[in-house]
Amino acid sequence: MNEKTKNAITRTRKSIGTHFSMCVQPSFIIGTNNEDGSYNFAPITWVSATCEKEDYLIVISIFGTKRTKQNINRTGIFSANLVSVDMLALMDYFGTRHAADGKKDDVSYTVSKGEVLDVPVLGASRWVYECKVEKSVDIGESTTYFCKIKNIQVDENFFCKDTYDVDLTKLDPVIYSGKYHSIGALLGQIGEFI
């Protein structure tokens, strides 16, 4: 047995079925405009990113017939407001109140317009994407949107040199995987653990 094999980790696993969905997902509150010009917010955790040439695309999936989905289909634009731990109560509020229940204004929050797109932006979010849909794919009742990032707004106290310099511990995002989690420590950069 060589040194590499001796120090390698081997875990014993078991099959648990395909109904489990342990997908680590950042939490966002998606902002859209209703037909009457009022704003609508809904938490969405099926959010990711992909790359097309040199541009990043935001990818979101929405199930069912939510007002948010209807608004995105109609306008083709939305804001994706990253949820930090201090926004968890607001996310939970938006997630338990539906557009059919009436205006979501039982709690205090501030809203402004996007700097590039006519989308509602939450004042509490530390990182906001303004997005325009480029393509959508329907699978059953779920729609996945591939979206160009038209603008990114960040808290004025947050600094990063580039994509590889983003310190998530400073953004303090809520991570969802059936339950809410936070990120506790910056572990290092690529190549530091070889």
Other beta carbons within 10 Å of 79? 28
Note the pLDDT of residue 98.
Answer: 73
User: Is the confidence at residue 1, as pLDDT, over 60?
Assistant: no
147 vs 136: CA distance, rounded Å: 9
Residue 38 main-chain phi, psi, to 5 deg: -75, 165
- Name the architecture of domain 25-181: Roll (2.30)
Give the pLDDT confidence of 139-165 residue by residue, as tens digits.
Answer: 999 999 999 999 999 998 888 777 777
68 vs 26: CA distance, rounded Å: 18
Note the pLDDT of residue 5.
Answer: 63
96's CB contacts (< 8 A; 6+ apart) are none
How many percent of the chain have pLDDT more than 70?
Answer: 91
Asked if residues 107 and 87 have their Cβ atoms less than 8 Å apart, the reply is no
Where are the domains positioned within the chain?
25-181
The kind and range of the H/E element at 45 are: none
Note the pLDDT of residue 4.
Answer: 61
54's CB contacts (< 8 A; 6+ apart) are none
